[in-house]
Structure 1
Amino acid sequence: MLWRLLLERITWQRWAYLVMGGALLMPYWFLSSVVVPLLPMPGSGLAEQALAVGLAFGLAAVGTWVTGLVPAVRVLEGAAIRELVGGRLGDRPVEPSGDWRTRQRTAVWHFLHLHVGVVISAISLATPPMVIALLLLPFLDAQAPVGVLVEYREGLTGALAPVAGLLLAAAVLGLIAAAGELMARLAPMFLGPSHAERLADAERRATRLAERNRLARELHDSVGHALSVVTLQAAAAGRVLDSDPAFAREALNAIEESARSALEDLDHVLGLLREESSAKAPQATLAQLDGLLNKTRLAGVALDAEIGDGLDQVPAVVSREAYRIVQEGLTNTLRHAGKVPVHLRIEVRAEQLEVEMSNPLSEASAERAVRRRGGGSGLNGIGERVTVLRGWMRAGAEGDAWRLRVSLPLRSGG
């Protein structure tokens, strides 16, 4: 286990990180050694020396703590952790300390880094000469630089000295590996994201998810409707191509227009996914409702529409969502019921925009409606739009008809 740790590159990267901390502590100690002799010390002799040493250590500790409170220290420590220690700090980049609690956590970490690092540095410097001396002890003579150990080279002590040297080396290497592993485990606790940063990340993820869902709805409603209409229009044009060329030509023109509109919506969605600043949102509103209904009629659907007054006064956001709701309702009809008669009613009533759509159910479509009781992606998309606008909807089979009812408040407080 120990040898495997010693052969790993990360172990020595962590050792370098700790030694770096020990080197960073030296200026604080040098400053303390200059300041402390200038201070008056009570007592004398050993007590005075002990007090001076303790004060020097205290000043150095306070200096490391205060330095850790600097917001930029968190960025430097985080970068070092990622490059040398391998601490699991998450996917987000480490930012400067944004609040007092985060500064305190960073200050504690900076203190630990420097003081654990100076201990590891001291051991790393002192141990190799001792290990070499113990390994060579049986072979030393009185003239050796470590002659003080020569008197122990005889007998059992001299024989065991190399073993003691190897054990000492193994203990120090194990300590280095353990200290590095401990720092890696503690790093997320002190340098990881704060509660505020986690909340901000969650909000950003929620925003991205909401935007992706919105784009999916736009793509599903616009392109899905265009493809459904184009399929029926192409089939109708093919059947009457010889007998009614004028209708076939009109249907082909409608196919071209539907395909072009779908491509524009697709380009918009792809532009948003690529984060292109030039991407403009499609602005289809109830003002374009007549064009939508005409395309549906050209597909062979007997569409009866009751359009109330005042739709041009509907707020833009409600108008856009209502257009998409009608579009998706017609798409569902074409996809699941085919070219059946459709009745549409849309009007403003009591500060509410009401949309009602119904079509007769055949036996096959009734069975599909029962199987789709939970709603497909189209109805889910309508439900999401209604929920965002704080409206309500009902959709399902009523007797021998499928009916969709939607009510959208015209004001945010509705």
Structure 2
Amino acid sequence: MSQPFSRWLKQWCGPLTRAVTYTRWLHLVVSGVLGLTFASILGIDDASVANWSLMFFVFPVPLVVAAALVPAMRRAEGLQARVMLFPGAHARVHDGQHEDDAGSGVSVSPSASWDDRVRTALWLVLRLEVGGAIAFATVHLIGQTLALIGTAAGAPDADSPVFALDGPRWLAALLVPVTLLALYATVVLAGLLMAAAARRFLGPSPAQRLSALEERTEQLLERNRIARELHDSIGHALTVAVVQAGAARATTDPAFTARALEAIEDTGRHALEDLERVLRVLREDGTPARERPTLAEAARLLASARTAGAKVDADLSGPVDRLPGPVSREGYRMLQEALTNVLRHAGPVPVRVQVTAHADLLTLDVRNALPAPTAVSSRGGSGLRGIRERAVLLGGRADTGPHEGDWRVRVELPLA
């Protein structure tokens, strides 16, 4: 089979093998139930064009327009459209909410404005009319196909709902595929039309799109914050553990080895607490998470760095324990990352830490001797980049890099 013919066959015959073709067909045909209900009420039993127009254009329209005024109707139609017109992973529902609006472009929110109600009314009228037309075409084309089959088989007085054929039997046999192809084309094109119309009339409003974009932005910011939390906490713990384990292996002093193992245990325990807190936030199971550490607990960080071999000279001045919560928590993480950076890249060297809480400004200054020779970039890795990002989010600034023969991390955070 040649490549162009195979591509043509896949393009034109592909809808026959797709479930969406039949779910869209069913979605449209079900719309005919309302018209058939009116037909039974009015006693209409003749499927003529005039009667079908009466069943689908005159009586049901005011009813569906009135139904569109109910806010929940838009949600019900959105759910049906997602499941029937766009079957797929996005159609699954969890806790009454859908995973994603992007797959179908159809909203499942109730009507929140008159614009939503008007668009819902237009959708319901369009669905009613197109559904009635498809139901009419389905009944008549299937009936015509059966009539042609009967004529080709020699059955007398075959009832033809569309046209009567007074010709040879072979001509009736040739026309059977034509009516089936007409039905196939009608169903596929109507399905594509309704899918496009659903996105237009049932899609989210500009306000809903903006709200969804803001929510998505908040989720990304939260994920970024959690990633930084894990990087700082776990990275610090692993760095301390590696340094302590290396020092313990190199010494023959049992007392030093015991202190190193104790420091590894203590650092690992705090890292597990931080990990459990982050996982509770991710699970959203309602269990209250432990408060994030603040600069009031900076002594724990300094002790951890000292047990790892760093000679830390610390000076904390001002009301550090009374800082605003966000500043104190982010300041703790910045100090943690700065000390981790020292241990990871410079080793057990002298470190000067100065934390000063002024009336309207918090400054953190961490300096350590540069290892010689050094080719450390002032931009640093993800840890230093995280320090700068945290500072910017709080309206402050952070400078990292060589300074007067030392490596310096200096952060300024406003307290207002």
* 1:25–1:115 Cα contact (<8 Å) kept: no
When structure 1 is superposed on structure 2, of 349-358 and 60-69 the one drifting more is: 60-69
1:118 alignment partner in structure 2: 132
C-alpha distance in structure 2 between counterparts of 1:150 and 1:248, whole Å: 99
Deviation, 1:20, is: 0.7
1:389 pairs with 2:394: yes
Matched position secondary structure for 2:367: strand
Whole-Å separation in 2 of the counterparts to 1:77 and 1:291: 58
Alignment map for 1:393-404 (pairs within 5 Å): 393-404=398-409
Shift, 1:397, TM fit: 1.3
**What TM-score comes out, normalization by structure 2 length?**
0.80
Q: Deviations over 1:366-401 (max 9, x none)?
A: 31x1xx333311112112221222111111112421
Q: Which residue of 2 aligns with 1:228?
A: 239
Letter in 2 for 1:390: G
Structure 1 match to 2:261: 252
User: CA offset at residue 407 of structure 1?
Assistant: 0.8
Q: Which amino acid aligns with 2:292?
A: Q
Quote the Cα distance in structure 2 between the aligned partners of 1:327 and 1:151: 88
The reply to whether residue 408 of structure 1 matches residue 404 of structure 2 is no
Structure number having the greater helix percentage: 1
How far 1:129 moved relative to its partner? 3.5
Pick from 188, 206, 224: which aligns with 2:217? Answer: 206
2:317 counterpart residue number: 308
2:338 maps to 1:329? yes
Match of 1:17 among 27, 49, 57: 27
Task: Give the distance between the partners of 2:18 and 2:306, measured in 1 at CA.
Answer: 72
- Does structure 1 residue 215 correspond to structure 2 residue 229? no
Describe how 1:9-408 pairs up with structure 2 within 5 A: 9-27=19-37, 57-86=57-86, 91-92=100-101, 94-137=108-151, 144=157, 153=166, 160-164=171-175, 166-242=177-253, 245-364=254-373, 366-367=374-375, 369=376, 372-408=377-413
Q: Which runs of 5+ in 2 are unaligned?
A: 1-8, 44-49, 92-99, 102-106
CA shift in 2, pair 1:310/1:11, >3 Å: closer
RMSD of aligned residue pairs (Cα, Å): 3.3
Q: Once the 2 structures are TM-superposed, how far is the Cα of residue 174 of structure 1 from its aligned partner?
A: 1.9
Contact 1:353 1:407 in 2 (8 A): yes
Measure, in 2, the Cα distance between the counterparts of 1:240 and 1:159: 101
Letter in 1 for 2:141: T
**Matched-pair contact (CA < 8 Å) for 1:254–1:298:** yes
Q: Find the aligned partners of 1:238 and 1:158 in 2 and give their Cα distance.
A: 97
| 1:261 maps to amino acid | H
Q: Which whole-Å CA distance do the structure 2 matches of 1:125 and 1:239 have between them? A: 88
Larger Cα Rg: Structure 1 or Structure 2?
1
* Matches of 1:247 and 1:139, distance apart in 2: 101
Stretch of structure 1 that moved more, 326-335 or 14-23: 14-23
Q: 1:67·1:73 contact (CA, 8 Å) conserved in 2? A: yes
Identity of aligned residues (%): 39
Contact 2:337 2:387 in 1 (8 A): yes
Deviations 1:5-27 (CA, angstroms, capped at 9, x unpaired): 34544333322221111112344
Residue-by-residue CA offset, 1:227-264 (whole Å, 9 max, x unaligned): 2222223333444443xx44443333222211211111
Q: How many residues align?
A: 383
Q: Which runs of 5+ in 1 are unaligned?
A: 35-49
